[in-house]
Amino acid sequence: MTARQRIIPVRREYNRWVANQTLEDYALRFTAKSARQFSSQRISQTAIGAISFLALEAIGGAITLSYGTTNAIIAILAASLVMLGVGLPISRYAIRHGVDIDLLTRGASFGYIGSTITSLIYASFTFMLFAIEASIMSAALELALGIPVWIGYIISAVMVIPLVTHGVRLISKFQLMTQPFWIILNIAPFIFIALADWSKFDLWLAFPGAHKAAGAPGSFAPFSLVEFGAASAVILALMAQIGEQVDFLRFLPPEGQRKLRHRFAVFLAGAGWVIVGAPKLLAGSFLVVLCLSAGVPVEDAADPAHMYLTAFGYMIPWHNAALLLMAAFVVVSQLKINVMNAYAGSLAWSNFFSRLTHSHPGRVVWLMFNVAIALLLMELGIYKLLEETLGIFSIIAMSWLCTISADLFINKPLGLAPPNIEFKRAHLYDINPVGVGAMTASALIALIAHFGLLGALAASLAPYIALITAFIVSPAIAWGTKGKYYLARKPRQSWKNLSTVTCSICEHPFEPEDMAWCPAYSAPICSLCCSLDSRCHDMCKPHASFNYQAAVVAKTLLPQKVTETLSTRLGRYGIAVVLSIAGIGAILAMIAHQTGTASPETASVINRTVGVVFFVFAVVTGVVCWFYVLAHDSRLVAEEESSRQNTLLLKEIAAHKKTDAALQYAKETAEAANRAKSRYVVGLSHELRTPLNAVLGYAQILERDETIPAPRQSAIKVIKRSADHLSGLIDGLLDISKIEAGRLQVYSNEINIQDFLDQIADMFRPQAQAKGLVFEHERASSLPQYVRTDEKRLRQILVNLLSNAIKFTDTGTIRFDVAYRSQVATFTVSDTGRGISETDLPRIFEPFQRGEAEHIRPMPGLGLGLTITQLLTQTLGGEINVSSERDKGSTFRVRLMLSAIARPTASLPSVRKIAGYAGPRRTIVVVDDNEDHRDLMREVLMPLDFVVLTAAGGTECLTLIEGIKPDLFLIDISMPGMSGWQLVTRLRDHEQTAPIIMLSANIGDGTAADTHTGHNDTLAKPFDIRQLHDKLAVHLALEWVYSDTVLQPPPKPKPTGAVKTPGVAHVEELIRLGEIGYVRGIEAKLADLARQEENQPFTEAVKTYVQAFDLAGYADFLQNINKQGRPAGE
């Protein structure tokens, strides 16, 4: 694998148990400072509640029965001092760094994987102690209430679960609530015994053991170093209790002002637990002698239920009452300790399995698992093997915890180890030889001694040998390795000042101490997500993985050939088999030894049975290991192939990224060009509309002027029509820009569709007939009178289609049909023109496309008509399609939703000439930087008796209106200096309340901002004078006064017959006049021909081309007429 594999971050959806810190209690992670909100008193009281376990009394009683009072007392004191000394640095560092015992083990010289075995040791302690305590409780329930032991086991196990699920918060409440009851019943019996029978204490001090001759009262039992060591071994198994204390100490808040009180709480709740625990051990030692003196059998005397039943008998003379009080005391005591055992076990199992399986279903799951194992041990009768079990466990626990204590107490202060506790997988070596080596050495030497290979004295003192060995070997290895294996990489210093850092995987925020930088994800990752990740293969620390470290050790210690052999498949199989069989053998040998020691008469049978079981397991293990090695090799091959394919995929992705970047650049360039085009079009339209507004406005004024001679009226109409045509072209360009930008507005108006279609037909029929074409129009009888649609856009669509049909048809027919069904109208425009080629059909709706025929015979226009038509049709929610055949014609169909209106709200008024208005004279201020436009407004408004004041800019306007209150403002938007919008704001600030109508060539193109306020209306240039009149009437509440003259709309041209030629000679003369561009000569010739009535259709048709100065169409028309031949009789 040559390329570094990149891991894609996938959010790990933790189940609700894991995500809920009320349930999780920061299992597997640093205890956040924000979570340490409990008081030091509450946490210390909770931790002290763990010392309620009656196993202390049971252990004290058991060692007293076996080794006598003197040996028991000295062992208790010595073991307590050892546990106090070992536990002090452990509790101190746990509080300082907010970690549980497992995380502390990682950072205190064991490494990430090295602490896995210690998690198993600690978990074993919790469920063994849980089982012992629950067995005591079950015995008490049987003694007091007659409940069968097996049912008592289930009750004692199940009762704990609801108290532990919600973590330290609920546990602390339970401990504080039961604390007074437990303290009183712990102390009161001994007061009564002392007052009633002090001689029992003398009897206790003289007790030599259950199977030895009793000494005289008042004397002391003999001391034996061997028996002292054996008794110490049992007591020192409780060394692991410091782990449970630490699990709660991590919730302690920092020191406040009451430092002495805080430190005392820390001491008492941490290593100081032995201050409370030692008296309970002594109490158990005393009570077992008291039971024997009261006639309790030896086999029951060490049972705490019988102990306290006898003690409470001194307080309460009634036996049944003493039984119930004993049962209540035992139940409370066992619940107080077992909630701690179950809680600590859930943490230990979480840590153990998270590293082995890279999975964490939640602390609550492992709580159930821990309780289930304890219940199984109870059913197997672990309480009967209490002394033998704890003897071996004490050696393992001593090796572990003394190694940690040595690192914290010696290595760190001497600088042999880093001062802080690092627990995150990303920063640790998998194996730290300091802790693993020291623990292995101390445990191995102590176990050798325990099994008698170093003599009887060494066997009894095996835990002390483990203690001394750990404190010697740990600093030695740390000094020899120079602390190299504590940190694989250092934490990020830049995060220290941050309050929280968000994990890129689970997306939860955590404090910086709980976070690491992950190179596989190239992002921060929390300690839990880091522990559970199985895809990165320790990419952040390849030199610190277990495999790498094992390979380095093998290459250092073994010959090259041996190393190469071990790295083969058979070699790895051999290693797996040897290690697995050795582990199974060790466990079976320990079981045989313990069972044989407890029952010497059956030892030979047990040994033979264990031997058979070992060989059966060895065969099964061999087969399983072979499958494991094969599966491992297959997984490696699959991972290599996946990595190889991933490398190729990354290269392809990189190539696609380059292509995407080039495409993105091209797209941005095109978008920039399109934006520039839009800005240019908008700017150009503004520059064109401003003078066009003056042209169109004056044309409308002149058109209404009755003093102009009739011969000039046609020229004025040509001017107006040309201005309208130019305005339409500008609107087309802007429509495309607005549709592309999504800013085109459509309106739903009531229109008389019948009159509307009549207008369209009447508009194009003369044009068709003037070109010698037949114009046919037919509409469906089902078409209603009134419909709802956007009249302007519908007119634009139909005008474009019919204009194209006439433009591109030389001979034949133009047909315009309208069908109507289910509120949907279908407009069909067909012609018999030149048609559209197949190569042009896909492109006809693209902007500025003219087709192949353009090269043969150019036609006027920009090539935007069909583009606008399609865009408008789609904007109105309709569809357009085309069918065409070359040289046979084309058919366009437009389908639009036209909702029928049964009752129209208003009818169109007649067009009348306005002479003025009723009421007082009104003042209008016109503000525009264009002088032509200001003059136009004067020409339009002053004849209607308005007072018109003009200003060339905003500043001039403000000066002009000082002291006056105009009735209305007409303001241009785009002006140099102060814009129209700024002027509106200033006017409103000057308390000008008159209506304001904004005028601009850009209104409706996105520059007339809807967000601007203060104005009342808008009007786009160029505008129809009637539109201006309508807006003035609305905002000034005017009542127009009309003249007697009614301005009728242009008369509908009467249908004319077929145009006949006046004669070939006349036509050819007109053609020659057109070729030289002699318009006056053409007009004179047409006037001469028009004297004859039969020539008038011909002259009217030709005049339409002359008035529009369309000389190309003029020539085509005459050529077509000439083809008809001479008239009859000529």
What's the pLDDT at 294?
Answer: 85
Given a cut of 50, whether residue 1053 has pLDDT beyond it is no
- Mean pLDDT calculated for residue range 639-668: 87
Given a cut of 50, whether residue 1050 has pLDDT beyond it is no
* Banded model confidence at residue 282, pLDDT cuts 50, 70, 90: very high
What's the pLDDT at 1056?
Answer: 44
Q: Is the dihedral of CA 1001, 1004, 1007, 1009 positive or negative?
A: positive
Amino acid of residue 84? L
Q: Are 767 and 1108 in contact (CB under 8 A)?
A: no
Q: In this structure, what token pair is assigned to residue 1005?
A: 């193109």
Q: In this structure, what token pair is assigned to residue 1049?
A: 């709309």
* Banded model confidence at residue 1108, pLDDT cuts 50, 70, 90: low
For 394-412, give the DSSP string. Answer: HHHHHHHHHHHHHIIIIIT
Mention the CATH class of domain 745-895. alpha beta
Q: Compute the distance between CA of residue 942 and CA of residue 869 in angstroms, rounded to an integer.
A: 40
Burial of 961 (0-12, 13-18, 19+ CB in 10 A): buried
Helix (H, G, I), strand (E, B) or coil at 991: coil
Given a cut of 70, whether residue 801 has pLDDT beyond it is yes
Query: pLDDT digits over 612-634, tens only?
Result: 888 888 889 889 988 888 888 88
What's the pLDDT at 711?
Answer: 63
Highest mean pLDDT among 6-20, 263-277, 506-520, 819-833: 819-833
What's the pLDDT at 507?
Answer: 79
- Mean pLDDT calculated for residue range 959-979: 88
What's the pLDDT at 256?
Answer: 57
Query: pLDDT digits over 116-159, tens only?
Result: 888 888 888 887 778 877 888 888 888 888 888 888 888 888 88
Per-residue burial over 1040-1072, b = 16 or more CB atoms within 10 Å of its CB, e = otherwise? beeeeeeeeeeeeeeeeeebebbeeebbeebee
Q: Which of 857, 1000, 1029, 1026 is nearest to 930 (CA)?
A: 1000
Given a cut of 90, whether residue 968 has pLDDT beyond it is yes
What's the pLDDT at 438?
Answer: 94
Given a cut of 80, whether residue 1045 has pLDDT beyond it is no
Given a cut of 70, whether residue 16 has pLDDT beyond it is no
* Banded model confidence at residue 1129, pLDDT cuts 50, 70, 90: very low
Query: pLDDT digits over 408-463, tens only?
Result: 999 999 999 998 888 888 889 989 999 999 999 999 999 899 888 888 888 888 89
Given a cut of 60, whether residue 101 has pLDDT beyond it is yes
Q: Parallel, antiparallel, or unpaired: how do β-strands 923-927 and 968-972 relate?
A: parallel
What's the pLDDT at 1008?
Answer: 47
Give residue 937's Cα distance to chain centre: 61
The span from the first CA to the last CA of the chain, in angstroms, equals: 101
Q: Which of 1103, 1094, 1083 is nearest to 1060 (CA)?
A: 1094
Given a cut of 70, whether residue 1106 has pLDDT beyond it is yes
Query: pLDDT digits over 187-244, tens only?
Result: 888 888 888 888 888 888 888 877 776 666 666 778 888 889 888 888 888 888 888 7
Q: Compute the distance between CA of residue 256 and CA of residue 646 in angstroms, rounded to an integer.
A: 55
Highest mean pLDDT among 641-650, 697-706, 1028-1037: 1028-1037
Percentage above 70 pLDDT, the chain: 84
Given a cut of 50, whether residue 1005 has pLDDT beyond it is no
Query: pLDDT digits over 719-767, tens only?
Result: 776 676 677 667 666 666 666 666 667 777 788 888 888 878 877 887 7
Q: What is the CA radius of gyration of the chain?
A: 52
- Mean pLDDT calculated for residue range 367-382: 77
What's the pLDDT at 159?
Answer: 82
Per-residue burial over 373-389, b = 16 or more CB atoms within 10 Å of its CB, e = otherwise? bbbebbeeebbebbbbb
* Banded model confidence at residue 26, pLDDT cuts 50, 70, 90: low
Q: Which long-range contacts (CB under 8 A, 24 or more apart) does 618-622 make?
A: 618/581, 618/584, 621/577, 621/580, 621/581, 621/584, 622/577, 622/581
Mention the CATH class of domain 31-484. mainly alpha
Q: Is the dihedral of CA 1085, 1090, 1091, 1097 positive or negative?
A: positive
Mention the CATH class of domain 914-1042. alpha beta
Given a cut of 80, whether residue 53 has pLDDT beyond it is no
Q: Compute the distance between CA of residue 999 and CA of residue 1007 in angstroms, rounded to an integer.
A: 12
What's the pLDDT at 215?
Answer: 61
Q: Compute the distance between CA of residue 704 and CA of residue 1047 in angstroms, rounded to an integer.
A: 9
For 971-990, give the DSSP string. Answer: EES--SSS-HHHHHHHHHHT
* Inter-CA distances, 638 with 58, 536, 634, Å: 56, 15, 6
Q: Compute the distance between CA of residue 545 and CA of residue 489 in angstroms, rounded to an integer.
A: 12
Domain boundaries, the chain: 31-484, 568-680, 745-895, 914-1042, 1064-1122
Given a cut of 50, whether residue 827 has pLDDT beyond it is yes
What's the pLDDT at 605?
Answer: 82
Q: Compute the distance between CA of residue 349 and CA of residue 356 in angstroms, rounded to an integer.
A: 11
- Least confident span in 36-40, 114-118, 267-271, 1039-1043: 36-40
Alpha helices in 771-815 (DSSP H): 791-807
Q: What is the mean pLDDT of the chain?
A: 80
Helix (H, G, I), strand (E, B) or coil at 317: coil
* Banded model confidence at residue 1046, pLDDT cuts 50, 70, 90: very low
- Mean pLDDT calculated for residue range 682-693: 71
